[in-house]
């Protein structure tokens, strides 16, 4: 699985002008299931993000994790994280999981974060979404479970 994690002071996602998910201070997580990903992959990524020390401590150092801050998460599916741009100018997305599997793993990922005690809201899988955020820092981290 791939995720783009952004530390935010607030974020929300709109579908057809209607707010479907939001969070205050915490993380906006754009996530994409890849072919071959499993529930175990989703669980490992959720655990990693839950423990990722990217929040400031009292000294201003990035020493705290989402689990330490009590922050929330807005999880948004984004198959374009699977973009292959090695050839030509039009990205290919053939390495993304098929839609049914992608949605199942996306929802499982969000549920694992909830089970870890994080307040989680989501976007709407497969919908055209407008994502609004106030990036804190800015801090943006790319994670890929297939990376060495």
Q: What's the pLDDT score for residue 59? A: 97
Half-sphere exposure of 6 (CA within 13 A, CB side): 20
The answer to whether 95 and 2 have CB atoms below 8 angstroms apart is no
The answer to whether 14 and 142 have CB atoms below 8 angstroms apart is no
Return the active site residues. Answer: 78-80
Instruction: Say what the pTM is.
Output: 0.96
pLDDT tens for each residue of 67-110: 999 999 999 999 999 999 999 999 999 999 999 999 999 999 99
CATH number of 2-85+92-144: 3.50.80.10
The answer to whether 78 and 14 have CB atoms below 8 angstroms apart is no
What is the total residue count of the chain?
Answer: 148
Domain extents in the chain: 2-85+92-144
């Amino acid at each position: 699985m791939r995720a783009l994690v952004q530390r935010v002071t607030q974020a929300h996602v709109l579908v057809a002008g209607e707010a479907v998910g939001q969070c205050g201070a915490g993380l906006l997580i754009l996530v994409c299931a890849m072919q071959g990903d499993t529930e175990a992959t989703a669980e490992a990524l959720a655990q990693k993000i839950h423990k990722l020390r990217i929040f400031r401590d009292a000294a201003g150092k990035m020493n705290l994790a989402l689990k330490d801050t009590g922050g929330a998460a807005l999880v948004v599916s984004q198959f374009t994280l699977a973009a292959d741009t090695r050839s030509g100018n039009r990205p290919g997305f053939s390495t993304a999981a098929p839609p049914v599997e992608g949605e199942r793993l996306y929802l499982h990922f969000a549920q694992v974060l909830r089970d870890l005690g994080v307040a989680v809201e989501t976007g709407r899988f497969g919908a055209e979404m407008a994502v609004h955020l106030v990036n804190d820092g800015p801090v943006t981290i790319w994670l890929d479970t297939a990376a060495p």
